[in-house]
Amino acid sequence: MTAVGRSRWTSLLLYGSLTVLAVIWLVPMLSAVMTSTLPLSQTRQGWWNLSPADLTFGNFARAWHQGLSRYAVNSFIITGLAVALTVSAGSMAAYAYARMAFRLKATTYFLLITTMIVPVQIILIPMLPWFRTLGLNAGPQEYLGIALVHTAFGAGWAIFMLGAFFAAIPEDLLEAARIDGASWFDVFRRIALPLAVPGIVSFAIIDFVFVWNDLLLALTLLDRAHQPLTVGLANLQTPHLAQEDLVSAGTIMAILPPLLLFAALNRFYVRGLFAGATKG
């Protein structure tokens, strides 16, 4: 675009203010990164006046060996399972809501959409005894249990976002296949699903970030052996123990997977949120 009559001063003001804001925005991250890569003794003299020669990765190794590895593995299992379940059940249902007519469609759609608004707390309290009844309160079943809760809570987002992508497929394409005698399942699997892959990927990323970052459900429903990184961080975060080196290293490790995913698939992520924003 051509800036009509924009003076040098306006430009300077524009870029200057944006740069200042961006730097302020990055300081907390920088603070965590520096604390995680410096020995504790150095951090205590202010991370901002230290030389690059002091940098170390020892904190990461120690945090990893002091139990963070287990939390990390749990995070990956829970997130992988939850995203797989939500995407598979969610894309089928989203397709039906976007493309088919059936009884109680409006009512069930409304109920599913409420999961986007109602706080998790509404199901949290009876969940513990309910898990016990279902046999999901011990051992590896806990992973399945919390993944299913995440699936239920992602249901609204799934049919809302994925529905937008399925609704965007031209009607003629699906109708042509139907006339050729393809069943609903064939149409879904061979035509709709491949066309919606970008949408499904962007939803999967958003769901991954969402599940990976959950603290409340994991804290409440899982025992120590099955808790993810977020709970591990909350446990580490006791100011009086003076272990900023371990805590910051753990934080960096906890935020890295979603961040890398974001960096690698930035396009998809933003597109998914765009779809939610503009079509909402």
Cβ distance to other proteins smaller for residue 132 or 139 = 132
The residue whose two tokens read 């016990």 is: 132
Q: Does 254 bind other proteins (CB under 8 A)?
A: yes
Contact 72, 226 (CB under 8 A): no
Tell me if 241 contacts other proteins by CB under 8 A. no
- Residue 39 near residue 244 (C-beta atoms within 8 A): no
Of 51-59, 66-74, 195-203, 251-259, the window that binds other proteins (rule: CB under 8 A) is 251-259
Stretch that binds other proteins, among 56-64, 65-73, 126-134, 194-202 (CB under 8 A): 126-134
Q: Which of 129, 135, 139, 140 binds other proteins (CB under 8 A)?
A: 129
Angle at 49 between CA 44 and CA 51, to 5 degrees: 105
* 71 class by beta-carbon count within 10 Å (0-12 exposed, 13-18 middle, 19+ buried): buried
Give the footprint of other proteins on residues 178-217 (CB under 8 A). Answer: 178-179, 181, 183-185, 188, 209, 212-216
- How far apart CA 99 and CA 108 sit, in angstroms, is 15
Gap between the Cα atoms of 252 and 38, Å rounded: 13
144 binds other proteins (CB under 8 A): no
Residues 6+ apart with CB under 8 A from 68: 229, 232, 250, 253
Of the candidate residues 93, 196, 200, 246, the single one contacting other proteins (CB under 8 A): 93
Which residue in 68, 78, 81, 96 binds other proteins (CB under 8 A)? Answer: 96
Instruction: Kindly tell me which residue out of 20, 128, 168, 264 binds other proteins, with binding defined by CB under 8 A.
Output: 128
* Residue among 63, 68, 77, 85 that touches other proteins (CB under 8 A): 85
Residues 50-69 that bind other proteins (CB under 8 A): none
